[in-house]
Amino acid sequence: MPHMFIPGPVDVDPEVLQAQTQPMLPHRSREFEALYRQTVEKTRPIFGTNGRIYITASSGTGLQEAAVRNFTQTRILSCINGAFGKRWHTVATTNGKLAEALEFEWAVPVNPSVVAEAVRRGRYEAVTIVHNETSTGVQNPVQEIAAAVHEASPQTLVCVDAVSSLGGVEIEMDAWGIDFLLTSSQKCLALPPGLGLAAVSDRALEYATQVPHRGWYFDLLRLEKHRLKDSTPATPAVSLIYALDRQMDRILKEGLEKRFTRHRLLGIKVREWALGQGFGLYAPEGFQSNTVTTVINRHKLDVGALNAYLQNRGMRIANGYGPLKNETFRIAHMGETQADDIETLLTAINEFISKH
Ligand code: PLP
């Protein structure tokens, strides 16, 4: 099996791919409702919530849009320390929302005290934060940020993008006081792209009732009305839901503790290798992602040539994101990636280095 060490889409287990080939179901049927209900229930532990979860036929960006359309009448605060925080801000402004950008250097984690200070001054309805910045490999301290926001401005909703961490890293939505938590199917959940998943707190849903022009497709109140009937407003991606149902069985069978530990050990392994080879790490100590590592390319390797070398061996890594291209490269270690897979990859990179 080729190994995609890129931060999504990642490899999907053949059993999960196969699950998609089951016959279609009419979505307005008891069979589909039972499938939808059981699948949603299985995802609950990865969100760390007892509350509502929606599964949408969209990628994660659709759910970034859901947050800004449902929770903003006047203005929100967008925390930005990478490309996906920036995207969420752009999603807000292109929806006509007044979104203020709270920008940090890309290699610097979002600072809870700075966010608290901003929400104290600003009376924001919501704050958007990316948990794991896939563009940089910086993991933001979401638990601390949520606590700081609650203390500074209790009514402000805390919205978190966990696209490249949910299912690979512990996140406790209810315990941490997160109001909106979104992810995509193609990262740590190791599914094909095409599903968005989001959990929404009671008070966030209540807030949405006051917000006009929520649109149709991502109107949370419409999604809720249908969720209460174990269904969706529009035609769901039935095949992908079969795949999610099967993959959640596999994830729960592995056990969340074990899964999170596996990701943590993979992160340590890649970081130790990078430092051992004389590369640098882009993310600062204590904020390094356990799902994707951004390696500072101190040896000025030709990343294109490295990737061609790896692709000849059935593997693939990612170049640095946007302005970090060639200056860095990224190794993802998420989803179903095992220690042996990383070992094989790092051995091949070592071979490339020794030949160049
Ligand atoms: N947020 C983060 C942190 C991401 O890594 C990505 C995609 O890589 C997105 C949002 C966008 O997700 P999608 O491509 O599923 O719309």
Per-residue HEC secondary structure of 222-272 comes to HHHHHHCCCCCCCCCCHHHHHHHHHHHHHHHHHCHHHHHHHHHHHHHHHHH
Looking from the CA of residue 185, the nearest atom of ligand 1 is 15
CA torsion, points 273, 277, 283, 284, in degrees to nearest 10? Answer: 100
pLDDT for position 186: 98
Apex 129 CA angle, 127 and 135, nearest 5: 150
**Ligand 1 midpoint to CA 60 (Å):** 6
User: Where do the domains of the chain lie, and which CATH numbers do they carry?
Assistant: 3-8+256-355 (3.90.1150.10), 14-252 (3.40.640.10)
Mutate to test the pocket of ligand 1, among 68, 84, 169, 180 (most ligand atoms within 8 A of CB): 84
Q: Percent of the chain having pLDDT more than 70?
A: 99
**Ligand 1 midpoint to CA 354 (Å):** 34
Confirm whether pTM is higher than 0.95: yes
Cβ atoms of residues 4 and 131 within 8 Å = no
Looking from the CA of residue 7, the nearest atom of ligand 1 is 8
Looking from the CA of residue 193, the nearest atom of ligand 1 is 15
Residue 203 CA: distances (Å) to CA of 98, 124, 210: 21, 15, 12
Residue 183 CA: distances (Å) to CA of 131, 160, 274: 10, 9, 28
Cβ atoms of residues 77 and 125 within 8 Å = no
Mutate to test the pocket of ligand 1, among 65, 164, 240 (most ligand atoms within 8 A of CB): 164
Query: What confidence tens digit (pLDDT) does each residue in 205-230 have?
Result: 999 999 999 999 999 999 999 999 99
Residue 62 has pLDDT above 90, yes or no: yes
- Tell me which residue has tokens 């939808």: 36
Residue 1 has pLDDT above 70, yes or no: no
Residues flanking ligand 1, CB < 6 Å: 8, 59-61, 84, 130, 134, 161, 163-164, 184
pLDDT, mean of residues 123-133: 97
- Residue type at 80 in one-letter notation: I
pLDDT, mean of residues 15-35: 97
Cβ atoms of residues 69 and 213 within 8 Å = yes
Confidence of residue 2 (pLDDT cuts 50, 70, 90): low
Q: Ligand 1 atom 12: the closest Cα is on which residue? A: 60
Residue 198 has pLDDT above 90, yes or no: yes
Token pair for residue 18? 């196969």
pLDDT for position 356: 86
Helices and strands (DSSP H and E) totals, the chain: 13, 14
